[in-house]
Amino acid sequence: MPATQIRNAMTIDVEDYFQVSAFDAHIARSRWSQMDCRVEANVDRILRLMEEAGIKGTFFTLGWIAERYPGMVKRIAANGHELASHGYAHHRATELSAGEFLQDIRRSKALLEDISGQKVLGYRAPSFSIGKKNLWALDMLYDAGYRYSSSIYPIQHDHYGMPDAPRFAFYPNGRNGLLELPITTVRLMQRNLPSGGGGYFRLLPYAVSRWLLQRVNTEDRQPGIFYFHPWEIDPGQPRVPGLCIKTRFRHYVNLHRTEARIKALTRDFRWDRMDNIFLVKN
């Protein structure tokens, strides 16, 4: 397939600014309901952006969010986007026992399906927290009715990553099991370089991010998987006090540039939902 015809997956991790894992030590889950929630307005901005660009995507949504904003969840589905699970309360998979993890993925799946009327087939672990130490989680996802995961990031990172994992879609337990869809990387200098969004997309000049994704389409002849969060297009979000310099920089760098860069991505590449790209044979 020519690179210009390759569809890439546009994915959004639907969580609010105070729910990111890096803030766990500063904002307890017991305080979440007291926080200034901005996710609904930000998701509506994203829906407008995607409608104007004429693209569809996949929204990995927290169950906690879905319970409080069912109208938003219904709008995502009504606009033709795929709903997928991001767990219930943004617990890293590494923090949960097998029993707790199973309860979490079943609860979030049922919530999203009940609200939207859509079948939920996909899951993304908070903070890409599935790796060598808890690959058992993939079997549980399949048993719970999921058909794909996007939870393994094949990079070296101080909080997550499985750098020796395959870079593109693979079946960890054979073709009759769960399909794993890693976030996009580029192989350079014997290393996997992150090329699929998040803080790297905000930090690097847009031209670099565009080149990296183009390389995956042209050299690897593979679809890319890009992700971002609603809070990343919200430079006016409240500042969390007491953060260390590294956490503060990672979270707030270039928030004012993200929306324009995402609009540029929608012009420069073709995009679609995860299920349309990876679960439907063309």
pLDDT, the chain, mean:
94
CATH topology of domain 3-278: TIM Barrel (3.20.20)
| Rounded-to-integer distance, Cα 238 and Cα 221, Å | 41
| Rounded-to-integer distance, Cα 94 and Cα 45, Å | 32
Q: What is the bridge-based pairing of β-strands 185-188 and 191-194?
A: antiparallel
User: Tokens at residue 275, please?
Assistant: 């299920």
pLDDT, average across residues 51-57: 98
Contact assessment for residue 129 and residue 149, using Cβ atoms and an 8 Å cutoff: no
pLDDT, average across residues 172-190: 88
DSSP conformational letter for 281: -
Which residue in 228, 268, 231 sits closest to 11, CA to CA? 228
Which residue in 132, 159, 127, 130 sits closest to 142, CA to CA? 130
Adjacent-strand bridge partners of 275: none
Please state the pTM of the whole predicted model. Answer: 0.95
- Give the tens place of pLDDT for each residue, 107-148: 999 999 999 999 999 999 999 999 888 999 999 999 999 999
Adjacent-strand bridge partners of 213: none
Q: What is the pLDDT of residue 159?
A: 61
